[in-house]
Structure 1
Amino acid sequence: MTKTLKCISPIDGSVYLERETLDIDAARSACDRARAAQADWAARPLEDRIALVRAGVAEVGRTTDRMAVELAHQMGRPVRYGGEFGGFDERASHMADIAKDALAPMVVEDSDKALRQITREPRGVVLVVAPWNYPYMTAINTLAPALIAGNTVMLKHATQTLQVGERLAEAFHAAGVPEDVFQNVFLDHDTTAQLIAERRFGFVNFTGSVGGGKAMEIAAAGTFTPVATELGGKDPGYVRADADVDAAVDGLMDGAIFNAGQCCCGIERIYVHESLYDAFVERAVAWVKALKLGNPLDPETTLGPMANVRFADEVRAQTREAVAQGARALIETDPADDGGAYLTPQILVDVTHDMRVMRDETFGPLVCIMTVKDDEDAIARMNDSQFGLTAAIFTRDIDAAQAIAARLETGTVFMNRCDYLDPALCWTGCKDTGLGAGLSVLGYHALTRPKSYHLKKA
């Protein structure tokens, strides 16, 4: 039965756009077309596939003004930040740059006796289930290397950012990528699960909630279809006694509040050495009070609404519970806070790890700050989480940072920065953040399978 997906704009609660989903037969047909197109696409020279992906990226870059406005309508990010093309281009370009080496055969022996090597073979049809919070950048993480590696791609974008999938398909098709090689599809959860269970895909990449990731793994159970997941986070930052306080405040508060806190690797817990705690909190409060909450279409706005009222409701619920248990909220309610999607950015102190706000993902403009005694105390608290995506350490001592990083249960460790995805490094996580390897050389390894050749010559 056909269903309708509706994108509700956080700006005013109106229906921004709606699309009908594919029924199961139409969805199967789309999968069949992708499978049929894959062999010819993989047979094209690697240089051709790289060139077509670069052309698709460039086509997206011609409409960045439109991108910023459309993202404001769909998920609330202020137009002053100009969309996502910078990171989108950086990630795609890096993966294109390293493709030849990353996909090259691993030659063990090439002698008069034998050729022994390991090649990288495309997995076939790749399903990309993309999230709404950074809808262009998260989609391109898998889209670009999957296509370059010789896979065909079906993109299922989040309901909140339905238009992004359409814009990506338009751009890549205009650049010359065949329509059956890259398809943007509208699917409901049940149809998606059924397609996975029917082994319609050679690889599934999912970015979203822990519950969504579990649903993907359940759907794939027994199919041996690899499922890569990037799920929740509760990322910590640690300000050591030797840190530059001003730099730490600017870096960590931006990591916590930018995009209304709706970042996979957003900072939600900050641990400050007791000698710097008062100064850090004072400056963090001033940093937040300088923000302007408002309509994201206004170029003066620095903080837009959350993408959906229900997301803002969860942040408010965690805040109320924490305050009832003894936490203190340091920011007064902003006049633009409407009790709906427009939410006052908040700092909580006097928090404990017994509070839900320090355990569950918040995914909003709220950060909790605690004092710690030393590195040992900080490491224990940073690791006291069910999640493990990134962690940030602010210090002048790189040796200390490396020693601390080695003991942290996380996918990425930053020093003197946070909330950044370096395409040359593997994007990965542990614990309830999920598993997988995105971008870098390892991203290509995930999107291909190894095939061994032992060719005896004599």
Structure 2
Amino acid sequence: MSGMLRTISPIDGAVVVERPYAAQAELDAMLDRARAAQAEWRTRPVAERAEVLGRAVDAFVAERERIAREITLQMGRPVTQAPGEVAGFEERARFMIDIAADALADVAVPNPKPGFNRFIRREPLGTVLVVAPWNYPYLTAVNSIVPALMAGNAVLLKPSSQTPLTAERMADAFAAAGLPEGLFQYAYLDHEATDGVIRDPRVDFVAFTGSVEGGRAVQRAAAERFIGVGLELGGKDPAYVRADADLDYALDGLVDGVYFNSGQSCCGIERIYVHRSRYEAFVEGFVTRARGYVLGDPLDPATTLGPMVRTRAADWVRKQVADAVAAGARSLIDEAEFPASKTGTPYLAPQVLVDVDHSMSVMMEESFGPVVGIMAVDSDEQAVELMNDSPYGLTASIWTADEEAAEQLGGRLATGTCFMNRCDYLDPALAWTGVGDSGRGCTLSPVGYEQLTRPKSYHLKTKI
């Protein structure tokens, strides 16, 4: 592999980063170093690993201002919002460090007869390849990197070509903390080289976050090997506003859930179903709030909606909107209301569509942009049917005053996470997982350690 990685900023089309792709000899050396370092690291007590990784989090957070600005330059999130990713990284990392001792402890087994000792031990896998996306490059990567290291593994990170500096900042933090050399490494790779690393026998697990097509490519590459693959893929996450919902509260939460990060979130809200009795008021309030966004240069503190990551992504959303309108939908926001929104650029106005149905791409296929379709429903049953009418199942949110109803409806939804009166949030204490084309496997929570370890059973006869 040869050539250069070039990161183009969506802000102004300037080149932000240039780095050479890793050569095969470099990759071989990295994987050999990882294997050697992991053999020693796995013998260290969990408490010692926790001490090192805690220092790494401290070092990372100390660079929050630099890290936040780099996020904005690389992928366009408003500079006032980018520091939240540093805070989220810290929250998840510290939580997974804090629970590691219990999550990795031996599983006790009753010993009904004297003279026997039986237990199950969780052992590290070896080297974990983490393939990270650009939209939340730290928040997604930390879900696997920190628990993988805490479990005694080595990590090789392949960052997105849109956000390569994230790998360098994490490497800086681990080096400052004194993490042994070889345990955390990163490589700039193209698709072909990534495929080759997945097939390499020195890689023992792959944690991938990205598109459905990317997930399929990862599975194909790993198909002839008996290794685990964790896939966090797409979403078309729905929300249901019941008749008893606090409308202002629901509007504030859902508008943010749709437009934060320009809608470029796997668990962002992309379709909303509202009980008919609240529908008109909800739509009116939603459009009013959407018009309050300020689209522009994300380095300007006044900006609340930045550009999408690239023009091609914005063009996809524009096409979804145009196709929906041609099929009978109504767009409630004129793009001209946002002067910065221009065809041929990644700057795209927020959009609200009504008179939509599930024959339209905008209600069925992932948009990953600042657009939402809103439909009226007549009952809980109709809402559940429509929410489940999707190949995806990452999160779903129900807005209601009735906790029992939310729990009952959640039990009928094909989704990895069910929210009540909130959305677009990851709680590190809860398992992060998906259904259908949203992927397979699990990160975060004590359950997240399971895919990064293998069980070994001990059956010891102590008296002969």
TM-score interval, smaller chain: over 0.9
Q: What is the CA-CA distance between 1:155 and the residue it aligns to?
A: 0.6
Instruction: Read off the aligned partner of 2:31 and give its amino acid letter.
Output: C
Answer yes or no: is 1:355 the counterpart of 2:360.
yes
Aligned pairs, how many? Answer: 458
**Which residue of 2 is the match for residue 207 of structure 1?**
209
Distance of 1:6 and 1:268 partners within structure 2 = 31
Judge conservation of contact 1:3–1:188 (CA < 8 Å) in 2: no
**Which residue of 2 is the match for residue 415 of structure 1?**
420
Judge conservation of contact 1:306–1:312 (CA < 8 Å) in 2: yes
Answer yes or no: is 1:9 the counterpart of 2:13.
no
Judge conservation of contact 1:388–1:431 (CA < 8 Å) in 2: yes
Answer yes or no: is 1:337 the counterpart of 2:337.
no
1:357-436 equivalent positions in 2, closer than 5 A: 357-436=362-441
Q: Deviations over 1:352-371 (max 9, x none)?
A: 10011111100001111000
**Which residue of 2 is the match for residue 453 of structure 1?**
458
Distance of 2:342 and 2:5 partners within structure 1 = 26
Distance of 1:337 and 1:139 partners within structure 2 = 31
SS at match of 1:253: helix
Judge conservation of contact 1:405–1:413 (CA < 8 Å) in 2: yes
Judge conservation of contact 2:72–2:82 (CA < 8 Å) in 1: no
Judge conservation of contact 2:68–2:86 (CA < 8 Å) in 1: no
Judge conservation of contact 2:71–2:82 (CA < 8 Å) in 1: no
**Which residue of 2 is the match for residue 182 of structure 1?**
184
Worse-superposed segment, 16-25 or 400-409 = 16-25
Answer yes or no: is 1:40 the counterpart of 2:40.
yes
**Which residue of 2 is the match for residue 325 of structure 1?**
327
Instruction: Read off the aligned partner of 2:52 and give its amino acid letter.
Output: L
Distance of 1:109 and 1:249 partners within structure 2 = 52
Instruction: Read off the aligned partner of 1:155 and give its amino acid letter.
Output: L
**Which residue of 2 is the match for residue 304 of structure 1?**
306
Q: What is the CA-CA distance between 1:82 and the residue it aligns to?
A: 4.2
**Which residue of 1 is the match for residue 94 of structure 2?**
93
* Structure 1 unmatched ranges of 5 or more: none
Q: What is the CA-CA distance between 1:23 and the residue it aligns to?
A: 2.1
SS at match of 1:453: strand
Distance of 2:358 and 2:173 partners within structure 1 = 46
1:17-416 equivalent positions in 2, closer than 5 A: 17-83=17-83, 84-109=85-110, 112-333=114-335, 334-339=338-343, 340-416=345-421
Distance of 1:222 and 1:112 partners within structure 2 = 44
Q: What is the CA-CA distance between 1:329 and the residue it aligns to?
A: 0.7
Instruction: Read off the aligned partner of 1:103 and give its amino acid letter.
Output: L
The percent identity for this pair of structures is 56
Q: What is the CA-CA distance between 1:24 and the residue it aligns to?
A: 2.3
Distance of 1:137 and 1:49 partners within structure 2 = 21
Q: Deviations over 1:178-222 (max 9, x none)?
A: 230000111111111112123221110000000000000000012
Q: What is the CA-CA distance between 1:6 and the residue it aligns to?
A: 1.3
Distance of 1:251 and 1:279 partners within structure 2 = 15
Q: Deviations over 1:77-120 (max 9, x none)?
A: 11112421211111011111111100000121467411100000
Q: Deviations over 1:264-287 (max 9, x none)?
A: 100000000000000000000011
Judge conservation of contact 2:7–2:163 (CA < 8 Å) in 1: yes
Instruction: Read off the aligned partner of 1:410 and give its amino acid letter.
Output: T
Instruction: Read off the aligned partner of 1:337 and give its amino acid letter.
Output: S
Judge conservation of contact 2:159–2:166 (CA < 8 Å) in 1: yes
Q: Deviations over 1:302-343 (max 9, x none)?
A: 111111111111111111111111111111111011221111
Distance of 1:372 and 1:138 partners within structure 2 = 34
Q: Deviations over 1:378-436 (max 9, x none)?
A: 00000000000000000000111111000000100000000000000000001011101
Instruction: Read off the aligned partner of 1:89 and give its amino acid letter.
Output: E
SS at match of 1:43: coil
SS at match of 1:161: coil
Judge conservation of contact 1:28–1:195 (CA < 8 Å) in 2: no
Judge conservation of contact 1:65–1:82 (CA < 8 Å) in 2: no
Distance of 2:384 and 2:3 partners within structure 1 = 47
When normalised by structure 1's length, the TM-score is: 0.99
SS at match of 1:384: coil
Judge conservation of contact 2:37–2:181 (CA < 8 Å) in 1: no
Instruction: Read off the aligned partner of 1:420 and give its amino acid letter.
Output: Y
Q: What is the CA-CA distance between 1:3 and the residue it aligns to?
A: 2.6
Instruction: Read off the aligned partner of 2:340 and give its amino acid letter.
Output: A
Distance of 1:234 and 1:82 partners within structure 2 = 24
Q: What is the CA-CA distance between 1:22 and the residue it aligns to?
A: 1.1
Distance of 2:88 and 2:397 partners within structure 1 = 20
SS at match of 1:276: helix
When normalised by structure 2's length, the TM-score is: 0.97
Q: What is the CA-CA distance between 1:19 and the residue it aligns to?
A: 1.2
Judge conservation of contact 1:240–1:395 (CA < 8 Å) in 2: yes
Superposed CA RMSD in Å reads 1.0
SS at match of 1:5: strand
Judge conservation of contact 1:199–1:225 (CA < 8 Å) in 2: no
Instruction: Read off the aligned partner of 1:175 and give its amino acid letter.
Output: A
Q: What is the CA-CA distance between 1:288 and the residue it aligns to?
A: 0.5
Distance of 2:28 and 2:296 partners within structure 1 = 43
Distance of 1:38 and 1:219 partners within structure 2 = 24
SS at match of 1:54: helix
Distance of 2:186 and 2:225 partners within structure 1 = 24
Judge conservation of contact 2:241–2:250 (CA < 8 Å) in 1: yes
SS at match of 1:368: strand
Instruction: Read off the aligned partner of 1:50 and give its amino acid letter.
Output: A
